Chain A
Amino acid sequence: MSEDREEIISALADGEAVPGPEVLERLERDTEALRRWSHYHLIRSVLHGERPLPLGSGFNDRLREALRAEPALLVPAVRRRRHLARRLAAVGRQAAGMAVAASVAVAAVLLVQHNREAGAPTVAAQSPAPAAALRQVASARSDRLSQAVERKLSGYLVNHNQYSASFGVQGIPVYARIVSITPGERVADER
């Protein structure tokens, strides 16, 4: 599988090929191929501006460190956006090697620097994909919930999912919200 894996997965992810059952069976058995296929989808969607960047856990901490070390860049915002576009294109070129994190981090640093200067908590409209990820980093009011509060909310969430599943769009795996671990954060005070 390893020799033609890249080609097959790339073609599948680009919608150029319709997989036959034997290909799917091979993919199913090949965990690495499955992982790569998923990542190709993510990268393609990032490049199409459809989704937040695929950042791993610990990204926020790394980004904060990078921000502390990075001097403010005195280039116009439009040039930074072009730079971001070039960076994202580079991410696409690096897809086979999956060297995503470093490039994304650099692009994100540029975006946050821009917003820091502009005093805005959100990123430019031309680059919607990383906005959700970066708002979490840029929000000065964000704060982790205590374990006790988080435990209670997660119990509520299991209960609430029933209603969410009943009313909402049928077919969305709402319990993925339980399986995926995203810590809650405090974003506003009760006043």
Chain B
Amino acid sequence: MSARLAVLCLSLVVSGAAAAGGAGVERVRVWLERMQAAVSRYSYDGTFVYVRGDEVSTMRLIHSVRDGQMRERLVSLDGNGREVIRTEDRVTCFLPDREAVVVEKARPRRDFPPSFPTRIDDLVAYYDFLLDENCRDRVAGLATAKITISPRDGYRYGYHLWVDRRTGLLLKSHLLNERMEPVEQFMFTHLVYLDEVPEEWLEPSISGEGFTWYRADDPPGPDHLRQTREWVLTDVPPGFRLTMHGEHRPARARALQEHLVLSDGLAAVTVYIEALDQDGEDNLMGGSRMGAVSAWGRLVDGHHVTAMGVVPLATVKRIARAVRYEK
């Protein structure tokens, strides 16, 4: 068997329900599970290139797993000096260019188990999967397997994913729009696996002293799936389901807000709802893009509604317009 034929044989096309129970889906599931497990298994220090729109950034990512606890430090290498520190219970964003620090409470993992890729059987209704276990692309000098996830309609983005063939860690990804063009890309150019990450590598290089600190409030109650009587969603894009409804005051927001999270099992859209105040100058009206992130804002019964997600603009628009106040 020639090498090319061998590669073809190992490239599995998984499409729709017809292949949902076949070996193809099982192989994709194995790789996606390896990819998910790698995040909570390996410590590493890497440099990656991040591209969105017409901007290119280089960043360093230090990821530590110790005694089942994950910590992470993300540092811009391009001069703006921004850093993000993630621990199990909070995310702290140092923004020296704005003399600000934004602190957000992290979602406890036990309350929010990643549903992907365990729901892959549901995903095949909305995405096609292609697996190349013998991908010839090397990323950061490492052999890869490549998974392509293609949306089957215009309401979600797709992915090219290159994962380390040895560890399953994601090394490179392209987020693809409805025309399968990359809208956001990341790629490690250098990666070192570590047994243990020195403590000082995980500490921010900025104290934040003299900066304005914005802290999100803790949710006043259980922040999990809770059906609301007041706010309802009608006619959302196919496959998107309400996964969470809670109350929260995000950092920089003035008042307590309701938020709803919808997901198709892979893409997530968050809807923020806040009562209108006198000012309102910070309310988004209509559509906006920030790189791969789309947002749509509108007024509903004396409230401002914002839908946000890494999805096409049509998706956040339809979801924002699906929000109704049930009197």
Contacts and interface: CB of A to CB of B under 8 A. Distances in A.
Asked if A and B bind, the verdict is yes
Interface of A: 12, 15, 17-19, 24, 27-28, 34-35, 37-38, 41-42, 45, 50-57, 59-60, 128-129, 131-133, 136, 145-146, 148-149, 151-164, 166-173, 175-191
Nearest to A13: B189
B266 interface: yes
Given A18-B141, A155-B214, A179-B82, A38 B189 contact: yes
Interface stretch (B11-19, B227-235, B307-315): B307-315
Given A34-B190, A166-B114, A167-B114, A184 B288 contact: yes
Contact of A153 (B80, B159, B306): B306
B53 A184 contact: no
14 contacts: A15-B136, A27-B190, A38-B47, A51-B51, A136-B54, A152-B253, A156-B306, A162-B112, A166-B112, A169-B159, A173-B48, A178-B82, A182-B53, A182-B291
A169 B59 contact: no
B311 to A, nearest CB: 10
Contacts of B169: 171
A173 B186 contact: yes
B165 interface: no
B51 A54 contact: yes
Interface string B229-259: 0000000000000011000101111000001
Contacts of B270: 156, 159-160, 163
B190 A37 contact: yes
B290 A183 contact: yes
Q: Please name the 8 residue pairs, one residue from A and one from B, whose CB atoms are nearest each other, closest first.
A: A171-B170, A155-B252, A188-B287, A148-B282, A133-B54, A190-B286, A55-B54, A184-B290
Contacts of A159: 104, 216, 248, 250-251, 259, 270
B83 interface: yes
A184 B95 CA distance: 17
A170 B186 contact: no
Majority secondary structure of chain B interface residues (helix, strand, loop or mixed): strand
A153 B292 CA distance: 14
Given A166-B268, A176-B59, 10 more contacts: A54-B56, A159-B250, A162-B104, A177-B290, A177-B292, A178-B93, A181-B55, A187-B286, A189-B285, A190-B297
Nearest to B86: A175
B253 A167 contact: no
Contacts of A57: 55
A190 B181 contact: no
A131 B176 CA distance: 12
Interface stretch (B1-9, B20-28, B33-41, B196-204): B33-41
B35 A170 contact: yes
Please tell me the size bucket of the interface on B: 35 or more
A182 B55 contact: yes
A163 B297 contact: no
A156 B54 contact: no
A168 B114 CA distance: 8
B84 interface: yes
A180 B57 contact: yes
Nearest to B109: A166
B65 interface: no
A176 B38 contact: no
B76 A180 contact: yes
Give the interface centre of A17, A34, A180, A181 by most chain B CB atoms within 10 Å.
A180
Give the interface centre of A56, A157, A166, A190 by most chain B CB atoms within 10 Å.
A166
A129 B95 CA distance: 31
Nearest to B181: A128
A153 B290 contact: yes
B248 A171 contact: no
B56 A181 contact: no
Contacts of A176: 48, 50, 57, 59, 74, 186
B308 A156 contact: yes
B151 interface: no
Contacts of B104: 158-159, 162
Contacts of B50: 173, 176, 179-180
